[in-house]
Each structure stands twice: as C-alpha cells, then as structure tokens.
C-alpha cells in the first residue's frame, strides 16, 4: 500500500539546514497497525505528514497504492487524501462553531459523496457518542472530542488512518478507549499508522518503527499482520461523485462563520450598508432633480423655435429689442405657409399687468398668445378650456390663469366663470393652466394668458409682436428650419447685409432642453460617484476583515485541506462569506436608502425618485464589492500550505 524510497525532507531555520528526513525507505502493507516512535525532533511527525500527503518530500519516491505521488499537484493530492486517508490529530482540530454531527460530516463537503442513511450519526454512535451528536466541541471532554475526530476520519471510508499523538492530551481512561477503537478499526481491515512517544501506546501496534535524527533506527514486527476483513458495522456505501460544489453547504457554513463574530460581521456590513444607502439616496435625489427639470422643460414644448426681434449694438451698447425690425402677425402666418417643416406658429406679446377681483389685486405676468399655444407649450387647462381661434379674431375678453393668481385672488373659490379686471378691463376666466412650479428666477404659475389680438388692441396697444413660437414637425429638421426661418425673415423685412447679424434672434428650445438635461445627468453621475466612494471604503473594510478571518482561521484551513478540500473549495468558502456580508449589507442599504429618500422628500421638500435600476445597481455593486474585495483574502487562504496551516497558533 505504501512504499517510500530514499525520501528526504529538509527545513531551513535561519542559517541552519535541518534534515527532518534523511533518506527514509519504508514499506507498509495494507491492514498493518504501525506505530512510529522517537524523541522530539526525530522526524516521526514529518514522516507521518509525508505519508498523509500533507507535506511533499524534497527528493525520493513515494508510491501510494502503486501510484507515484511525490510530484502530484496540490488538488490531486487533496483528492487522494479525501479518498484514501483519514486523519486523527493530537489537538483534535474540531471546528468550534458547529456541532459534533456537523464536524463528522465535514469531509462530505469535499469528497463529492452524498450523505445517505445518516452516516455521520452512525459513525458517532459507533464511537459511543450517539447521545451527544448535537453538542459543540466546548461541551465535550477531551476523550469525546477525540472520538468525534475519529468519526470524522472514517467519514469517507478511508483505507488508511494516520494518527498523530492521538492520546497525547487524554487521561488514562480516555487513552484506553481511543486505543480500543483504533484496534477495532485495524481488525476490520483499515491500515493504522500512529505516531507516539508513549511506550504503552506503541506496544498496542503490531509493528513498531523507531526513528532518530531523521532516519529509521529499528523496524520491529511484534505480531503477525491480521488479514484484512470487511467492516462488521452496516455502514452505507459511498454515493456518486457530484460534478459541482455544494454551494448551499458553503453558504450555510459561511453564515455559521459570520455568526461566530457578530460584532465584526456587523461592522463589515455597516460599511457596505452606508455605501449602498448613499448610492440609492444620491441616485434618487439626482433622478428626482432630473424629473423636476424635465417637468419644467415640458412647458417649453417639444421641437420649438422662438423667434424674437434682434437688438442692435452700437459701441458695445445694446439697443432695445426690436430696434432693427419688428415682428407682425403676418410674419407668423407667412412662416407657417412658406416653410414645409413648420407645423404651426403662435404669436406672443407680454408685459406686466395689475389684476383685481373683488377687494383683492395682484401684479402678474400677462401673456397674449395664439390658440395654438396650448398644444405647443403643453398648456391645455385641466379645468376649464383654452380660448379658440374665433375668440382671438373677435378680440374676446377671456383669460386662462395660473395657480399662483388663483391662490392670491380666489383662495379656495373656483375662478371658472368669474369676472376679473386686468388693467381695469373686465375679463372672464375660462380655464386654469396646469401647474408648472417655481424656478430659481420666476414663478411659472404666476401668469395670465389672453388672446394675442385682445392683448395687442385692448390691453397693450401694440401693433407688433414680442416673439413668435414655431413648432417644427420633426426634431431632425430643427437646424434646417432654424436657418430657413432666418432667411425668410431677412428677405421679407429687406434687412441690409450689415444689419443682418442683429436683425433676429432665434432660440432653439431643444438645445436649451438638452443642455439642462445634460447638466442634470452630470449632477446625477457626480452624486453617484460620491456615493460609490462609500462603497469602495466599505469594500476595503470587508477585505480587511476577511484577511483577519483568514489569519485567525489558518488552522481551520489546514484541517479542511487535510480532509480533502482543494484550493477552489477554500476559495469558494471564503468568497461566499465575503459575498454574504456584502449582499446582506446591500439589501439593508437599499431599505435604509429608501427611508432616506422618503425623509428628504417629507422633511426637506426635495424631489426624489427611487427607480428599479438604482436598486438593481446598488445590489450589483454590493455583490461585486464582495467578490472583488474578497477574492484576495480567499485566494490567500486557498494557497496556504496544509501542514504549515495546521501548525499555526
């Protein structure tokens, strides 16, 4: 079963080179019970570690079951350990946060075998712990803990059991019980190799090997090797190998590991929680601001050009608008008729006016507009109606008023049908304008709209316009239409070349909308970037905590590798713990972020909007943070040398 030829192993201790094994050759047949004895530093434990594939020899040949294993990869060695070898350690090496039953079943996680017929429980009953299967290691005596370790070593039906000072920490009664169990296992055909410094323990073996200074001094066979026999206990057969890791078991163990250090885990989650909450709140604030701007921009209309008379400049001084030329109603009609891309036009004239109702009066903005204004500027009254083309031609004294005017003149009364006086001229209120809200420079609801002809001839006494709103049929035609409008107006008004530059001013509302929207998006991205920095800090916190966890659990990593865990198993385990921390912190952060947005909306009056994509983005970020910042500690744990990890304090 085991064949060593001239195996050597050296350790470097400072400037000294210590030969732990100096050319050891050894053959062990299946079914033997071998004890290896010697003083401290003789190399017996190193030999056991080499036999158990926990340590690799510097030179020489090691054949196990006829296979050369001296040069195998770490993962292949781990698979062999899980299939053929069971370990019993002097320090027991039980995981303190899980029960005896879970400790016994631990090798199943890495062997790929399915648990059938309650095998872990059967093994604990086999070693006399059937009534203490749910007890944690700190609730068991030393002898009972060693029994659990023996049950764990038998989990995968090993052909070899390697025991390193299995009775070194036990009293005499527990020692006798453990030795009886080992003898029974050997009688059932399992090869036993035990390292000890106690003569009475070595006397129990059928073969005694003594070592000194890294070489075998004597090899004495004390009894005939018993024939290998099948187990007398009805233990279930191993299941088929699974093709994938049991990720659910890794998650469960991750929760157990995190629960063992609740305060530290909470502090790790807190960093992610704050980061995710900041991302959700900042994105909600940015999105709310963007929506508020979009609602305000809706009043500008879509695909609109605004034509205004230019202001001539002399010596750096700008003259009054309209000093070069004047706009007329015929200009508005001509634009709609001559330019195919123009859908409709609305002439406009505006100024301040004093409005009164009963014993109340208010100074407001008065706008004279065409009937098309309502559709072009998204100003269709939710209550009442807008004036018609016929009312405009008749110069009817009808008005549509904003919410601010209603609040100051009518308070809680309905203004529809009421008569108000605008500059001492009576007008009937026929509709209420949709609420726009206030901007930093003006209140969009503080306005009254009347027919443009009424405004020109009954209120302001003007025969010219202040501006003409032009709606273009398609957004793609905005630039070309803008140039066509300018060319047509220059031709119609016969503007000489020297004055053409200042003759007209055309504002492209789409450009204004785009600029404001882009500014809003930039602010949103800036807020999100600031919040992402919080996530970065939280991720660094997770990495620090996981590095501490790897350091604290180095011996646990060594144990898991000893019972068959491969590098990817250790990598997945620690990575799962990191992702669990970040994911739970992310979910809690979403709830906190949502609460913050509600608080900002209620107490600060800010416009906020939590979108599904911001929540999804926060979850994705938190999970990514767990993976990115957990990969280094997990990788560090996966590359730990098993024997060095087991020796760590």
What was the pLDDT predicted at 639?
82
Residue 173 has φ and ψ, to the nearest 5°, of -65, -45
Query: Residue 294: which pLDDT band, with cuts at 50, 70 and 90?
Result: low
pLDDT for residue 284 is more than 60: yes
Q: In degrees to the nearest 10, what's the CA dihedral of 112, 194, 46, 633?
A: 30
Tell me if residue 311 falls in helix, strand or coil. Answer: coil
Asked if the model's pLDDT at residue 505 lies above 80, the reply is: yes
What is each CA distance from 110 to 71, 559, 584, 632, in whole angstroms? 22, 12, 26, 22
Going by pLDDT thresholds of 50, 70 and 90, the confidence category of residue 110 is confident
Grade residue 83 by pLDDT with cuts at 50, 70 and 90.
confident
Helices (H) and strands (E) in the chain, counts: 21, 22
Give the residue from 203, 213, 211 showing the smallest Cα distance to 182.
203
Range with the largest mean pLDDT of 273-282, 325-334, 561-570, 588-597: 325-334
Q: Which residue has the higher pLDDT, 262 or 613?
A: 262
Position 616 pLDDT exceeds 80: no
**Distance separating alpha carbons of residues 527 and 286, to the nearest angstrom:** 7
Question: What would the pLDDT profile of 476-495 be if each residue is shown by its tens digit?
Answer: 788 899 899 999 999 998 88
**Residue 562: band (very low, low, confident or very high) from pLDDT cuts 50, 70, 90:** confident
For residue 607, is pLDDT > 80?
no
Q: What is the mean pLDDT of residues 621-637?
A: 78
- Mean of the pLDDT values across residues 20-44? 89
- Asked if residue 645 has pLDDT above 50, the reply is yes
Predicted confidence (pLDDT) at residue 512 exceeds the cutoff of 80: no
Asked if 331 and 314 count as a contact pair (C-beta separation under 8 A), the reply is no
Q: Is it the case that residue 230 has pLDDT exceeding 90?
A: no
| Length, in residues, of the chain | 649
- Specify the pLDDT at position 275: 76
Helix or strand holding residue 21 (H, E): strand 16-28
Tell whether the model's pLDDT for residue 240 goes beyond 50: no
Rounded to an integer, the average pLDDT of 616-625 is 73
Inform me whether the pLDDT recorded for 340 exceeds 50.
Answer: yes
* 404 against 292, higher pLDDT: 404
**pLDDT value, residue 511:** 63
Average of pLDDT values for 274-292?
A: 76
Mean pLDDT of the chain: 82
Q: How far apart are CA 521 and CA 398, in angstroms?
A: 41
- Top-confidence residue, 546 or 351: 351
Residue 176 in this model has a pLDDT that exceeds 70: yes
Say what the pLDDT of residue 576 is.
81
Q: Cα(first)–Cα(last) distance of the chain, in Å?
A: 33
- Given a cut of 70, whether residue 155 has pLDDT beyond it is yes
Is residue 590 helix, strand or coil?
helix
pLDDT given at position 419: 95
DSSP letters spanning 435-447: P--B-SS-BTTSE
Q: What are phi and psi of 473, to 5 degrees?
A: -65, -35
pLDDT at 244 over 50: no
> According to the model, what pLDDT value does residue 332 have?
93
pLDDT at 242 over 50: no
The average pLDDT across 153-178 equals 85
| pLDDT above 70 for 243 | no
Domains of the chain (ranges plus CATH)? 2-243 (3.40.50.300), 262-295+515-647 (no CATH), 326-494 (no CATH)
For the segment 431-465, what is each residue's pLDDT rounded down to a tens digit? 999 988 765 567 889 999 999 999 999 999 998 99
pLDDT score recorded for residue 229: 43
Cα 280 from Cα 597, distance rounded (Å): 8
What confidence category does residue 395 fall into, taking pLDDT thresholds of 50, 70 and 90?
very high
The answer, yes or no, to whether residue 583 has pLDDT greater than 60, is: yes
Confidence of residue 302 (pLDDT cuts 50, 70, 90): low
What residues contact 401, with CB distance under 8 A and at least 6 apart?
Answer: 415, 420, 429, 431, 432, 433, 447, 448, 449
Whether the pLDDT of residue 316 is over 60: the answer is: no
pLDDT of residue 559: 85
Q: Does the structure show a pLDDT above 70 at 232?
A: no
DSSP 458: I
Q: Return the percentage of the chain with pLDDT > 90, whole number.
A: 24
Please state, in angstroms and as integers, the Cα–Cα distance from residue 176 to each residue in 121, 123, 183, following that order.
23, 19, 10
Tokens of 123: 């093994």
Tell me what pLDDT residue 235 has.
35
Q: CB atoms < 10 A from the CB of 130, how many?
A: 12
Q: Does the pLDDT at position 331 exceed 60?
A: yes
Mean pLDDT throughout 169-186? Answer: 84
Mean pLDDT in residue range 493-522: 76
Residue 141 has pLDDT above 50, yes or no: yes
Q: pTM surpassing 0.85? A: no
Confidence of residue 299 (pLDDT cuts 50, 70, 90): low
Band (pLDDT 50/70/90 cuts) for residue 127 is confident
Residue 500 CB: number of other CB atoms within 10 A?
Answer: 16
Report yes or no: 110 and 82 within 8 Å, Cβ to Cβ.
yes
Q: Which residue has the higher pLDDT, 14 or 221?
A: 221
Angle between helices 612-638 and 509-552 (to 10 degrees): 30
Instruction: With both helix axes pointing from N to C terminus, report the angle between 554-562 and 74-84 in degrees, rounded to the nearest 10.
Output: 70
> What is the pLDDT at residue 515?
65
> Greater confidence, 507 or 365?
365
pLDDT of the residue at 295: 64
Share of the chain above pLDDT 70, in %: 86
Token pair in block for residue 452? 């443009």
Higher pLDDT, 407 or 622: 407
Instruction: Name the range with the highest mean pLDDT among 6-15, 71-80, 336-345.
Output: 336-345
pLDDT given for residue 321 in this prediction? 52
pLDDT in tens, 163-173: 988 887 778 88
Residues 413-449 as b/e (b if ≥16 CB within 10 A, e otherwise) read eebbebebebeeeebebbbbbbebeeeeeebbbbbbb
Mean pLDDT, range 542-553, rounded to an integer: 77
């Amino acid at each position: 079963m085991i064949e060593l030829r001239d195996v050597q192993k050296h350790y470097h201790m400072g400037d000294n080179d210590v030969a732990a094994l100096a050319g050891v050759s050894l053959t062990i047949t299946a079914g033997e019970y071998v004890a290896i004895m010697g003083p401290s530093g003789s190399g017996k434990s190193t030999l056991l570690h080499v036999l158990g594939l926990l340590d690799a020899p510097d030179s020489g040949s090691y054949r196990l079951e006829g296979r050369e294993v001296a040069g195998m990869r770490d993962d292949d060695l781990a698979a062999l350990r899980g299939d053929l070898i069971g370990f019993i350690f002097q320090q027991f090496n039980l995981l303190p946060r899980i029960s005896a039953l879970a400790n016994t079943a631990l090798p199943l996680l890495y062997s790929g075998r399915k648990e059938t017929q309650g095998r872990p429980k059967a093994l604990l009953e086999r070693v006399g712990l059937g009534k203490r299967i749910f007890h944690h290691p700190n609730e068991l005596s030393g002898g009972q803990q060693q029994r659990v370790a023996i049950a764990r070593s038998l989990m995968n039906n090993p052909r070899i059991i390697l025991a390193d000072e299995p009775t070194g920490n036990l009293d005499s009664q527990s020692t006798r019980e453990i030795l009886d169990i080992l003898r029974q296992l050997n009688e059932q055909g399992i090869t036993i190799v035990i390292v000890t410094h106690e003569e009475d323990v070595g006397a129990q073996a059928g073969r005694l090997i003594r070592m000194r200074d890294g070489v075998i001094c004597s090899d004495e066979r004390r009894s005939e090797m018993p024939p290998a026999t099948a187990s007398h206990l009805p233990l279930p057969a191993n299941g088929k190998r699974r093709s994938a890791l049991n990720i659910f078991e890794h998650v469960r163990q991750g929760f157990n590991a995190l629960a063992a250090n609740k305060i530290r885990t909470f502090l790790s989650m807190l960093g992610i929680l704050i980061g995710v909450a900041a991302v959700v709140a900042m994105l909600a604030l940015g999105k709310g601001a963007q929506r508020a701007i979009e609602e305000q921009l809706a009043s500008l209309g879509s695909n609109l050009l605004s034509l205004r008379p230019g202001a001539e400049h002399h010596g750096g001084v700008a003259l009054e608008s309209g000093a070069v030329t004047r706009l007329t109603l015929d200009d508005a009609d001509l634009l709609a008729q001559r330019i195919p891309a123009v859908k409709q036009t609305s002439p406009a004239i505006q100024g301040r006016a004093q409005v009164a109702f009963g014993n109340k009066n208010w100074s407001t903005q008065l706008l004279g507009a065409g009937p098309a204004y309502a559709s072009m500027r998204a100003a269709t009254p939710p209550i009442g109606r807008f004036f018609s083309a016929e009312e405009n031609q008749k110069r009817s004294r009808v008005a549509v008023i904003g919410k601010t005017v209603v609040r100051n003149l009518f308070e809680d009364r309905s203004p529809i049908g009421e008569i108000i006086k605008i500059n001492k001229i009576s007008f009937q209120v026929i509709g209420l304008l949709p609420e726009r809200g206030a901007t930093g420079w003006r209140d969009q609801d503080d306005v009254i709209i009347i027919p443009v002809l009424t405004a020109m001839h009954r209120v302001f006494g003007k025969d010219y316009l202040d501006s003409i709103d032009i709606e273009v049929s398609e957004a793609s035609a905005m630039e070309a239409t803008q140039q066509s409008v300018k060319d047509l107006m220059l031709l119609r008004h016969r503007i000489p070349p020297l004055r053409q530059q200042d003759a007209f001013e055309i504002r492209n509302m789409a450009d204004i909308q785009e600029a404001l929207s882009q500014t809003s998006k930039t602010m949103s991205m800036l807020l999100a970037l600031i919040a992402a920095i919080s996530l970065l800090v939280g991720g660094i916190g997770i990495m620090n905590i996981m590095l501490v966890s790897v350091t604290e659990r180095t011996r646990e990593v060594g144990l898991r590798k000893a019972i068959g865990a491969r590098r990817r198993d250790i990598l997945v385990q620690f990575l799962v713990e990191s992702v669990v921390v970040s994911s739970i912190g992310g979910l809690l952060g979403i709830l906190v972020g949502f609460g913050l947005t509600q608080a900002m909306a209620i107490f600060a009056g800010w416009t906020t909007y939590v979108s599904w994509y911001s929540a999804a983005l926060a979850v994705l970020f938190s999970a990514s943070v767990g993976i990115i910042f957990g990969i280094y500690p997990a990788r560090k744990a996966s590359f730990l040398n098993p024997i060095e990890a087991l020796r760590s304090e």
